Amino acid sequence: MTVKPGFSALAGDDGAEPTAAVDYRLAREATLQAWRSGQLKRHEVCDAQRELHRNAEFCGRPTERQCPVCEETDLVEVTYVFGSRLPKHGRCVTTQAEMQRLERRTAPATGYEVEVCTGCGWNHLIWRRELGG
Ligand SMILES: [Zn+2]
């Protein structure tokens, strides 16, 4: 299953269609379903690491989607790029210009978008896409 990235910064800089992303919404629904049915405990689905919390606060993009778990806090989306000559923990991308620079690199890299609740710690991968190369 593929989907176009929702983050406009991931559009090609020449107006070309971005590479299709792998969509993780079904996996996300399955995780939420497992939590609602009691197969997963809340601490198992709300396990955002400190680093992810910090990135969500400093380079996340706020959404108007409410957290599906605590239903109290709006979700934040964080985009990461991992690849050679990038930080080991990935680079947290906040601007379209930065994403375009990463797109133009010849070294392959992978972009990930994660949604995070800074209230309860819920987090899940939304999509993944190959960049550059
Ligand atoms: Zn929450």
The neighbour count for residue 83, using CB atoms within 10 Å, is: 19
pLDDT tens-digit profile of 54-110? 999 999 999 999 999 999 999 999 999 999 889 988 999 998 899 888 888 888 899
Cα(66) to ligand 1 centroid in Å equals 8
Distance (angstroms) between ligand 1 centre and the Cα of 23 equals 21
Please tell me the total number of residues recorded for the chain in this structure.
133
Task: For residue range 85-100, list pLDDT tens digits in order.
Answer: 899 889 999 988 998 8
Ligand 1 centroid to Cα of residue 104, in Å, is 36
Residue 120 CA to ligand 1 centre (angstroms) = 4
Ligand 1 center to residue 102 CA distance, Å? 31
Amino acid at 5: P
C-alpha torsion 84→86→82→102, nearest 10: -90
Tens digits of residue pLDDT in 3-45: 444 444 444 444 455 678 999 999 999 999 999 999 999 999 9
Nearest to 4 by CA among 133, 127, 132: 127
CA pair distance 94, 131, nearest whole angstrom: 16
Spatial contact of 97 and 123, defined as CB atoms under 8 Å apart: no
Nearest to 124 by CA among 32, 2, 9, 13: 32
Whether the model clears a pTM of 0.85, i.e. scores above it, the answer is no
Cα 73 to middle of ligand 1, angstroms: 6
